[in-house]
Amino acid sequence: MSYQRDYERRLRVGLVGLGGHGYRTLLPALNNLPVRLSAVCDVDAALADRTARQYGAVPYTCQSDMLAGQALDAVLLAAPPQEHPALAVEALGHGLHVWMEKPPAVRAADLDPVIAARGDRVVVVGLKKVFMPAARKALELLAMPGTGRLTSLYARYALSVPESGGELPARRTSSHWLAEGCHPLSLLLAAGGPVEAVDVHRGGLGDCLCVLRFAGGALGVLQMSENLTMSQPFEQYTFVAEHGTVEILNGSRVTFQRGIPYEYGVTTGFAPEGTDGGLTTWEPQHSRAALENRSDFVQGIHAELDHFCRSVLRGSPATLGTLEFARQVMEVYEAALLAAP
């Protein structure tokens, strides 16, 4: 791990969107990335000026002016999702690479012009759940030959699918389902692959279940309740395979349960010899002020930005958080809306 000041090669970047998330999360994360923040942009001129002074950047209130006035390598988009596609297409038209915060758009089809304009430029969508260390470990365990095929997936998250009347919302409309639903959906799709059917079951007290049938044969359930904000764990994922189960709790604890040799009426010990069975756990050591304990590392924020920067510097396409994958996530989001009138 290197700090921004230590990198010999750094990307000249402009950040568009200086609201709470951009200022609270993205700007501090740049400290550990190979970038030079050349410009910042926000429709609030006073906010842009104050932020620019703090970070030694040039302020703008319009991305077009920023692109014309600065020699940039890339833009980082943290604007409202309905603005992302047009901003991304404009930046790509100037030959720049683009990282954009989730959600990347309001409709799946709105990403098509971005895909068409991408060319050989790197574009990454900040679907942090796919990048978080816990997810990378879980996917590694699921990919091991001895784990077997994935058969079912389960997630719980504090949100709900809003009533839609069987129609998609207007393109200027946002919702909690749009803003947060991409988090659990992206991790479920990263593990299970493409989805071929979506159904939603709503309870009488506001909670709902989103049922996903994956093309590979696995079945997934996303349990949603706004009441989960008052409970622990706030977020949970369970991946059941033929010969093992992987679980992620609150993004910071991974367990791998391989079971134990067992024969009913015969087995007498729950801890047999060897390490081929039983439960293995990975979690941060919070007693140390180490990088792996910081929320931007635990939640995958650093990893998504680092993957973008390194892909650009290597001249290679992104392999995670791609536009095609983000579009699949958006398609499931839309299917759930249409299934929950």
Given a contact cutoff of 8 angstroms between Cβ atoms, the answer to whether 15 and 27 are in contact is yes
Q: Which residue has the higher pLDDT, 340 or 319?
A: 319
d(CA 126, CA 78): 10
Task: Report pLDDT for 1.
Answer: 63
Q: pLDDT tens for residues 186-205? A: 999 999 999 999 999 988 77
Task: Report pLDDT for 226.
Answer: 72
Q: Which residue has the higher pLDDT, 232 or 222?
A: 222
Neighbours of 274 (CB within 10 A): 8
Neighbours of 170 (CB within 10 A): 9
d(CA 317, CA 53): 34
Statement: the pTM of the whole predicted model exceeds 0.95: no
Q: In what order do the strands lie in the sheet with 244-249?
A: 195-202, 208-214, 219-224, 150-157, 236-241, 244-249, 253-257, 279-282
Task: Report pLDDT for 49.
Answer: 97
Decide if pLDDT at 234 tops 90.
no
Phi, psi of 207 (to 5 degrees): -75, 160
Q: Whose CA is closest to 193, among 53, 325, 39, 36? A: 325
Q: Please state the rounded mean pLDDT for residues 198-220.
A: 91
Average pLDDT over the chain reads: 92
Q: Whose CA is closest to 19, among 179, 167, 197? A: 179
* Residue-by-residue DSSP string for 235-248: SEEEEEETTEEEEE
Domains annotated for the chain, with CATH where assigned, are: 4-127+298-328 (3.40.50.720), 131-288 (3.30.360.10)
d(CA 61, CA 71): 17
d(CA 333, CA 158): 15
Decide if pLDDT at 116 tops 90.
yes
Encoded amino acid at 117, one letter: A
d(CA 27, CA 42): 14
d(CA 115, CA 323): 7
Residue 89: is it exposed, middle or buried by C-beta count within 10 angstroms (0-12/13-18/19+)? middle
Q: Whose CA is closest to 188, among 226, 223, 161, 162? A: 223
Cα radius of gyration (the chain): 21
